[in-house]
Amino acid sequence: QQPVQSPQAVILREGEDAVINCSSSKALYSVHWYRQKHGEAPVFLMILLKGGEQKGHEKISASFNEKKQQSSLYLTASQLSYSGTYFCGTAVSNAGGTSYGKLTFGQGTILTVHP
């Protein structure tokens, strides 16, 4: 099943903060976050691994609650360039710990930042 993202859409003014949530019904090994601008390919933002390791963007942070199978993406002091659709992609746990790039994506959260 697809992970569920909330909210579906967010409208901000520059400088405001936002939180996007991603929730799965399955035991997760990792959560990826991507941003997609209209008409473009998704671009990598962040990976969070079971056990606490993170890898990603300087100005964007995220958390991963392994017990609840939830992740949250924190966008602080938003800029116009933050506008786009944000997707979480989840990899379920397996013995090898490798998803083979086989991510299941949420339906997306549309973020709009106004001047």
Partner 1 sequence: NAGVTQTPKFQVLKTGQSMTLQCAQDMNHEYMSWYRQDPGMGLRLIHYSVGAGITDQGEVPNGYNVSRSTTEDFPLRLLSAAPSQTSVYFCASTPSRGRKDNSPLHFGNGTRLTVT
- The first and second tokens of residue 15, run together, are 């400088």
With 0-12 CB in 10 A as exposed, 13-18 as middle and 19+ as buried, what is 64? buried
Would you count residue 58 as binding partner 1 (CB under 8 A)? no
Start-to-end Cα distance in the chain: 37
CA angle 72, 33, 3 (to 5 degrees): 70
Would you count residue 92 as binding partner 1 (CB under 8 A)? no
19 vs 47, which CB is nearer to partner 1?
A: 47
Total chain residues near partner 1 (CB under 8 A): 30
**Identified binder of partner 1 from the candidate list 20, 64, 70, 106, rule CB under 8 A:** 106
- Which secondary-structure segment (H or E) carries 91? strand 84-92
Q: How far is the CB of 36 from partner 1 (least distance, A)?
A: 9
Residues in contact with partner 1 by the rule CB under 8 A: 2, 29-30, 32, 34, 40-44, 47, 49, 53, 55, 87, 89, 91, 96-108
